Chain A
């Protein structure tokens, strides 16, 4: 009885599925973002050859880009799961505020650093619980927690910053922002986090569920996926990553600002969406976010090097978010 079905199948596929088309379909997102990266890079090389043909600017990129890439990578998982997190910028400062507090009580940088990670985990879990157990849309819930943690930080620190000079030269400081030759430690962390996120999403059972949840939450639930636990998990991971990144950003300038995260929201989101992650969930790659975050980082440096004022950066990031999400949505419609 299966024979007629088979015959039909072969006919249907003959003209529509050449190997090239199949390759494009599978790797389209990755090819797209690499092409964007090349175009952006070539543009800057042409408009500001002196800057973009010297090694210095690339070292600067490796120093600054990780400070949002390390959050954009785990945030990609939240977006793939069909959710959103806007609170990570406040969690950065909240984590470091706890670090400063614990360091003051105990004098131990190690204890303070552990407290920082736990503070991030706690804030991430709260986000997850609000979304899953109470059922608030994540966009709204995390705007709420964004304001909340920013407020907590101001109350704890009385609105004033703190010097982090005491940490300079310690193992933890070197681990976070030291230099390995010319490569800043945070760049190495970014690569480690990217590899870890990739393995988690593509090679583990728990991570694989993230795609299923974002794609069709009903079917995932019916097939026995613990949807609630997985969502809380990805929010928690972003929380820890935000606190960790906040620490790196603060160590980098050896000073803690209570308004630490303020500049990172747009760059982080732009990295995720430019990287090809669907705003509707279910689709996205770690590789895309990784490359996209360096495109975003390059745009920041490139705009200034190309002779425009820094005021242009925000305008361009805004355009990138809107355009990349629009292209995603239109491509998605055409396929449906």
Chain B
């Protein structure tokens, strides 16, 4: 299996507006792909097609682990193992950590009774291993609202990992977070790759994407304007090129187009 996800020649129109034009996009196993682009560039449309929320126009193909997917719905995408972590809407703030980890997928014993003890213990394990909370003052029974933004994002990411997501999509996970908090989120993203999963990291801030991503895909005006593997481009060069994209809509990709 070369690609976890491969999208070939994807188009999407909303009435007269062409949101995506001939997009080819792929994610390898264990890879962190940074999806970079201005607001309205088509990042979220692309992601919503991957999560089954939008249907692409006829003519394009989506492959999951080399299998062609005919029709992708939200629930099918989840079954495949595609999970999205949203910045604001991911957690129920006033509930405990374990309730949030197991939200909608509670472990049950017979007759729909919850296995509360098991969920607490599993959560404690996750907190010690993936989330890195070692203080005894933070227990699975703490309410999520008592935690910082980065820690909350960590809970949402951990939840996706626990339920065997193969591809985790992070939708602007660092929005509104401080530098330290952003660093925590980056730590969690590194856990994703450690676990052998893939990740799409969406942001419009190059400084957040560059340190984490193995490959950076730039979306502009509904098309893939270019992509770089991190070893072929420095941050300064990338910034330079992004200015050019913003002005002209095309990248000078003569030397650095990674997937060509």
| A interface, CB within 8 angstroms of B | 1-6, 8-10, 13-14, 17, 22, 25-26, 202-206, 208-209, 211-212, 215-216, 218-220, 222-225, 282-283, 335-336
Number of A-B pairs, beta carbon distance below 8 Å: 98
Q: How far, in angstroms, from A220 to B102 measured CA to CA in the complex?
A: 11
Q: How far, in angstroms, from A218 to B114 measured CA to CA in the complex?
A: 22
With A1-B187, A205-B114, A223-B103 as contacts: A9 and B92 at CB distance below 8 Å = no
Residue of A3, A9, A216 near B135 (CB, 8 A) is A9
Q: Is B258 an interface residue (CB 8 A)?
A: no
Contact of B132 with A5 in the complex, beta carbons under 8 Å: yes
Task: Rank and list the top 10 A-B pairs by shortest CB-CB distance, nearest first.
Answer: A223-B104, A215-B92, A2-B132, A17-B137, A13-B137, A224-B104, A216-B92, A218-B89, A223-B103, A225-B104
Count chain B residues whose beta carbon lies closer than 8 angstroms to a beta carbon of A.
Answer: 38
Q: Is B138 an interface residue (CB 8 A)?
A: yes
Q: How far, in angstroms, from A209 to B146 measured CA to CA in the complex?
A: 21
Q: How far, in angstroms, from A53 to B75 measured CA to CA in the complex?
A: 62
In the assembled complex, the CB of A216 is this many whole angstroms from the nearest CB of chain B, namely 4
Of A3, A211, A223, A336, chain B has the most CB atoms within 10 Å of the CB of A223
Given contacts A216-B93, A219-B89, A283-B94, 13 further A-B contacts (CB under 8 A): A1-B190, A4-B183, A10-B135, A203-B114, A204-B111, A204-B113, A205-B114, A206-B112, A208-B106, A215-B93, A216-B89, A216-B92, A335-B146
CB-CB < 8 A to B133: which residues of A?
6, 9
Contact of A219 with B103 in the complex, beta carbons under 8 Å: yes
Contact of A216 with B91 in the complex, beta carbons under 8 Å: yes
In the assembled complex, the CB of B180 is this many whole angstroms from the nearest CB of chain A, namely 7
Residue of A9, A25, A204 near B114 (CB, 8 A) is A204
CB-CB < 8 A to A5: which residues of B?
132, 183-184, 187
In the assembled complex, the CB of A285 is this many whole angstroms from the nearest CB of chain B, namely 13
| B interface, CB within 8 angstroms of A | 75, 78, 84, 86, 89-95, 99, 103-106, 108, 111-114, 116, 132-135, 137-139, 141, 143, 145-146, 180, 183-184, 187, 190
Contact of A219 with B114 in the complex, beta carbons under 8 Å: no
CB-CB < 8 A to B180: which residues of A?
8
Q: How far, in angstroms, from A10 to B136 measured CA to CA in the complex?
A: 9
In the assembled complex, the CB of A268 is this many whole angstroms from the nearest CB of chain B, namely 24
CB-CB < 8 A to B108: which residues of A?
205
CB-CB < 8 A to A9: which residues of B?
132-135, 138
Residue of B84, B99, B135 near A211 (CB, 8 A) is B99
Contact of A219 with B92 in the complex, beta carbons under 8 Å: yes
Contact of A211 with B145 in the complex, beta carbons under 8 Å: no
In the assembled complex, the CB of A331 is this many whole angstroms from the nearest CB of chain B, namely 12
With A216-B93, A219-B92, A335-B145 as contacts: A2 and B114 at CB distance below 8 Å = no
Q: How far, in angstroms, from A57 to B86 measured CA to CA in the complex?
A: 56
CB-CB < 8 A to A3: which residues of B?
132
In the assembled complex, the CB of A328 is this many whole angstroms from the nearest CB of chain B, namely 12
CB-CB < 8 A to B95: which residues of A?
211-212, 215, 282
- Smallest CB gap from B108: residue in A: A205
Contact of B135 with A222 in the complex, beta carbons under 8 Å: no
- Smallest CB gap from A10: residue in B: B135
Contact of B116 with A222 in the complex, beta carbons under 8 Å: no
CB-CB < 8 A to A17: which residues of B?
137-138
In the assembled complex, the CB of B188 is this many whole angstroms from the nearest CB of chain A, namely 9
CB-CB < 8 A to A25: which residues of B?
143, 146
CB-CB < 8 A to B92: which residues of A?
211-212, 215-216, 219-220, 282
In the assembled complex, the CB of B241 is this many whole angstroms from the nearest CB of chain A, namely 29
In the assembled complex, the CB of B194 is this many whole angstroms from the nearest CB of chain A, namely 9
